[in-house]
Amino acid sequence: MDFRDTASQAVWRGEVRQFLKQELPQELTGQFFTRAPQATKPLWDKWRGALASRGWVAPAWPAEYGGAGLSPMEQFILNEEFAEHRAPNVGGLGVMMLGPTLIAAGTEEQKRQHIPRILDGSVQWCQGYSEPGSGSDLASLQTRAVRDGDDFVINGQKIWTSLAHIADWMFCLARTDPDAPKHRGITYFLFDMKTPGITVRPLVNMAGGHDFNEVFFEDVRVPSKNIIGEVNRGWYVGTTTLDFERSSIGNSIGSRQVVERNLVWFREHRAEVAPTDYEAVRLQWVDRWIEVQAATLLAYRIISMQAAGQIPNYESSIAKLFNTELIQRTAKTGAKMMGLWGDIIDERAPMKGMNAYRYVDQVRETLAGGTSEIQRNIIATRGLGLPRA
């Protein structure tokens, strides 16, 4: 593998860097908000406008839908430079998941209604997939949708619904044929979160954060025009994506940056760490540093496949598994380095309590987006050709 940019790639990278130098407000570096705080809203609006002018809110989308139609390698370089500069993403689930589904399977009316509002940020989306008894085995979901004239009436529950408490709309899978095999009989719905019968309850994590929610549906009426694709074919619609870059280079760069920030503190505060702890933690940071390089190589492997016209499968599972477990190991090493301060989440603690916060907050990393167990099963069956258990 040649890690050097080609001449055209170097030009593209320079263009992205120049854009970030000119357009990225320093106050927004490292930030993430679905709803921008009022105090910084003008900066967020300016940043979104700069991205939109180039189609970079949704760079993988075709130009006719407001995207940039970038190739996988162009997306990779864009994502790599954005991660290096800690530039915030403004697209959310609307760009990552719903938009590609609408482009591939939506009606023209649905595209006209939703795509512009995804791109300008006026409507935020949440995903209604997981249920209390249907997480890893999503196809076993039991939330029911029953036809009633031109509407469907939905009853059931979703859980771990990220940002449902501030989302405007939801894209949701519900069972419309209980007698069909579990991957069939599922339909893909869109609906306004203000529809009567929807109740959102917060799920606060161990770090005191509120991203997740549980959502209850009681006789929620959804017009049939809000179905994406065909009735009872929603499972196949829900797996629709564009061929976008999915190397997770941002995760590996983010992990490297966390390791670097910890190493700076470790060097500057060596006298505050007991000698035996110092030696033990020093060797652990060596391991973490090597691992972030390995994570970067996994990302390069995936993008090299996509650039060659191949579709990564188990390779993406390897990268996801390695990255999320690395994130947790890094948090554990950081907390151990702090000694007793590693248990304190407080801005007055060393590094403003970052390591203690990360240690409890990032338990979820190996669960969200497909558990480590699921990833290992994919690697075993699709990568190693082992039989299913």
Catalytic center residues? 245
Q: Report how far apart, in Å, the C-alpha atoms of 338 and of each of 266, 343, 354 are.
A: 9, 8, 10
Token pair listed for 140: 């076993």
d(CA 347, CA 152): 49
* Neighbouring residues of 277: CB distance < 8 A, sequence distance ≥ 6: 336, 337, 339
State phi, psi for 90 to the nearest 5 degrees: -115, 5
CA distance 272 to 206: 28
Q: Which string of b and e fits 216-255 if b means at least 16 CB within 10 Å? A: bbeebebeeebbbbebebbbebbebeeebbbbbbbbbbbb
How far, in Å, CA of 157 to CA of 370, rounded? 20
Q: Kindly tell me the sign of the dihedral angle through the C-alpha atoms of 116, 120, 121, 123.
A: negative
Q: DSSP of 24-65, one letter per residue?
A: --GGGTT---SS--GGGHHHHHHHHHHHHHHT-SSTTS-GGG
Provide the CB-side half-sphere exposure for 50 (13 A, CA). Answer: 18
